[in-house]
Structure 1
């Protein structure tokens, strides 16, 4: 697992600073000067034709970075206007930066946009936990409404580093420069959009500080799970590569199950079966070739087919319908021994909206691992007590309460494990906002889990593959396209040339 994918909360980042300083490698003001130098280098490289820079400084360390930026720009002969909101604490590193700055600051209340100047937003960083006051809010609105470049230090002022939420108002940056590691607020909406382009700068904080901090939040990218990705072996047969099953809806609702089954098969499951009601057997049979078919109308039918050949993973919910025994199927699968994975999506989640505790009890008492893949509406039905919390906290708490891996879907999909690990997906795109795409995702996760990939890692991999496939296709994507887009991605992950 790559340390470069670690996400640090604001308090963890403060601890990283403290551990670096206590090691004696550099003092706090030294870190501030390094940050300022990094920012100036980016400013001069990206905005060489600006008439000047307006540096807006707050009272804390973020503002201290701004004062260093102003000093360095002035020393290089660049036109700088400096504005301050509040005074640094006496004896702080930010006060040292003020004392070393050769130009005085005007009050932020006197600021107005000057065409031809770029704005350096160094008012507040990631740790802000209250709404902006009127003076800062006015400036944020003026900058948003003007045709002016905004470069934010650490995070746009007004955006929470912990969860990306806007506390009343916020700056919208063209470029955000942060240090050492990203924070959740850089990836979670609306923070992600307000950051613009985000770069992570190295200012000398060593990776060794991550050990004592023991972070639990990650960026969902292949180095996070690639080491656990299933690699086919020459001596395997179809069932040893994993058997995934998908429950079908009735005769007029079969498409979702087929999409999920194709997702599982393309993700590498050696065998895939659709469990179909008798009323939909003919419809499904007419559309299937490599995917097998079994009749399942009742729990007794389900027990019979599982006894004949126990699958490694189930997908229950897509297109199933709420008038059929969906809860009974779910409980039967969970109460039956033998391990494996149950992926619950769509109707399978909604079916337990009146009695979520029954589902959670069954999950925690089961030998099977469970993935729940709700969008916001489905999440609210199953976890109504968590609605007031922000997305990151909601997903983590839902995983703990339910005992399942949670995929809270959205443009910033969150994958949370009951053991406290959380990944935020960074490659979401608008093309996935199309009917049936979630059904494919459920199947891809099941296909990877069927191959015995550890469940949280399999879920993270499924979410990334699903989004990456859509990104590479682009406009015009429909859910039917997604399974066929997976093979080239799998070839890259598996480095196929090395397997031959």
Structure 2
């Protein structure tokens, strides 16, 4: 299978449409199930050669059909196999019924399964299409398997996970390995699904790429360079600092200047031609003591800012890191309404009492990037953040549409969303990136890319990716200063 095809993300609904289109084109759907089940059996033998018993859990749909095929292959290969089924197997239909008929193993009801030492569980209960909380008997088995510490190989997706959102529906298996077919689902990448899937393998069962691509909307994708490299500025020998953009980062008061400096250095490292810290007059000395390549400009109030903005070369700004919450921040943002702005931290929180005041400032072509973590998101979008029916992708997209902004919804599964409906899931950030000040670095990187002319969504996505790469270079135990030092331009 092409690397590009396995990199696609299809929602469960899109994958169901692929299956239907494949069958309509004349492809033998049972042949696809046969290959899926055989792949699961092969993975089980490869990963768990020392298993004393393979325990195959078969659900009431096609995921269960895959599991019956896997059980048959394991048995025919001489492996010890026990089979447990959810519901009445006689009620299976279509390919799943045919798979059950071809499996000579006599199964038992799921609730009778009692874990034993040496068991390896093959989970074929639900897969990616589950849309409701798991029933009580499934939850009980999940709990018993977890308590026994048994390895789980999930077919398609650990049962109990929502394939679109990655959320746990009541309870879910924690798989050591997951094998899925043709493409991944968003739930494989979104938390907590990413953790619960363990090591993920995508296996080609023979559906033509043309069918998959025809059903793939591309609305949700993984954040990789292919998503934004097409808008990167071309490198030219004849250039100068102003062609690479001028980024301005606003500083807080004299005792709160460090965050702005980390943003400024990061923007410079990300490729901005020049960077200026705009600081209150009382904070100039504190900043000057720590800066060399970054310039300084005194700005005390909105009137000072308005005067400075007569210089039309000043088009890109970062406001929020260490700035302080309140009316001054709101006034500065109002003055910047026609410019490109990354609004972070205190800048976001300054609009918590009237978010619409912020959104009304930035109509037209998106030029605002918002970088909220979970708490800031809920303050700026309380109704969206509190809607339990929405997954993280849905929330980020709804927020992007409302704010007419690129949204960087931060977390272990940072989501980047655009007002036009595009969404990217970031996956390259290591766990050690969760440290104080890392968000200030991210804001600066995005600002540096905006200054170079990248559109808001692409600057946000590329910035998040660069942030993760810098963390890998810096290594475990990094501080925000280390992170900023390891930022490299695209």
2:198 aligned to 188, 196, 199, which one?
196
Question: What are the equivalent positions in structure 2 for 1:426-437 lying under 5 Å apart?
Answer: 426-437=427-438
Q: 1:155 to 1:212 in 2, by over 3 A?
A: closer
1:319 aligned to 309, 317, 322, which one?
322
Match of 1:144 in 2: 146
Q: Does 1:374 align with 2:372?
A: yes
Match of 1:464 in 2: 465
CA contact (8 A) 2:405 2:456 kept: no
The secondary structure found in structure 2 opposite 1:325 is helix
Q: Distance in 2 between matches of 1:42 and 1:378?
A: 43
**CA offsets per residue over residues 414-463 of structure 1, 9 Å max, x none?**
00110100011112222122111101100101111111123212211111
Match of 1:243 in 2: 246
Q: Distance in 2 between matches of 1:262 and 1:205?
A: 48
CA contact (8 A) 1:15 1:213 kept: no
Match of 1:271 in 2: 274
Match of 2:361 in 1: 362
Match of 2:177 in 1: 175
Q: Distance in 2 between matches of 1:43 and 1:23?
A: 31
Q: Distance in 2 between matches of 1:323 and 1:82?
A: 62
Structure 2 runs not aligned, ≥5 long: none
Match of 2:297 in 1: 294
The secondary structure found in structure 1 opposite 2:468 is helix
The secondary structure found in structure 1 opposite 2:362 is helix
Q: 1:473 to 1:400 in 2, by over 3 A?
A: same
What's the TM-score, normalizing by structure 2? 0.95
Question: What are the equivalent positions in structure 2 for 1:20-99 lying under 5 Å apart?
Answer: 20-24=22-26, 26-87=27-88, 89-99=91-101
Q: 1:211 to 1:124 in 2, by over 3 A?
A: same
Q: Distance in 1 between matches of 2:60 and 2:205?
A: 21
Compute the displacement of 1:142 (Å).
0.8
Compute the displacement of 1:90 (Å).
4.8
Q: Distance in 1 between matches of 2:362 and 2:207?
A: 42
Q: 1:312 to 1:11 in 2, by over 3 A?
A: same
CA contact (8 A) 2:54 2:120 kept: yes
Q: Does 1:450 align with 2:448?
A: no
Compute the displacement of 1:3 (Å).
5.1
What's the TM-score, normalizing by structure 1? 0.93
Match of 1:348 in 2: 347
Q: 1:240 to 1:64 in 2, by over 3 A?
A: same
**CA offsets per residue over residues 19-52 of structure 1, 9 Å max, x none?**
222222x222111111112112211211112123
The count of corresponding residues between Structure 1 and Structure 2 is 483
CA contact (8 A) 1:230 1:448 kept: no
Question: What are the equivalent positions in structure 2 for 1:148-167 lying under 5 Å apart?
Answer: 148-167=150-169
CA contact (8 A) 1:448 1:462 kept: yes
Q: Distance in 1 between matches of 2:472 and 2:117?
A: 36
Match of 1:228 in 2: 231
RMSD: 1.7
Compute the displacement of 1:298 (Å).
2.0
1:126 aligned to 102, 120, 128, which one?
128
The secondary structure found in structure 2 opposite 1:171 is coil
Moved more, 224-233 or 133-142: 224-233
Q: Does 1:331 align with 2:329?
A: no
CA contact (8 A) 1:407 1:415 kept: yes
Q: Distance in 2 between matches of 1:431 and 1:291?
A: 28
Moved more, 354-363 or 300-309: 300-309
Match of 1:284 in 2: 287
Question: What are the equivalent positions in structure 2 for 1:467-486 lying under 5 Å apart?
Answer: 467-486=468-487
Compute the displacement of 1:466 (Å).
0.7
Structure 1 runs not aligned, ≥5 long: 494-500
Compute the displacement of 1:299 (Å).
2.0
Match of 1:496 in 2: none
Q: Distance in 2 between matches of 1:111 and 1:329?
A: 63
The secondary structure found in structure 1 opposite 2:143 is helix
Match of 1:417 in 2: 418
CA contact (8 A) 2:366 2:456 kept: no
Q: Distance in 2 between matches of 1:403 and 1:196?
A: 36
Q: Distance in 2 between matches of 1:174 and 1:82?
A: 20
Moved more, 227-236 or 454-463: 227-236
CA contact (8 A) 1:2 1:224 kept: no
Compute the displacement of 1:2 (Å).
5.2
Compute the displacement of 1:181 (Å).
1.4
Q: Distance in 2 between matches of 1:416 and 1:206?
A: 30
Compute the displacement of 1:390 (Å).
2.7
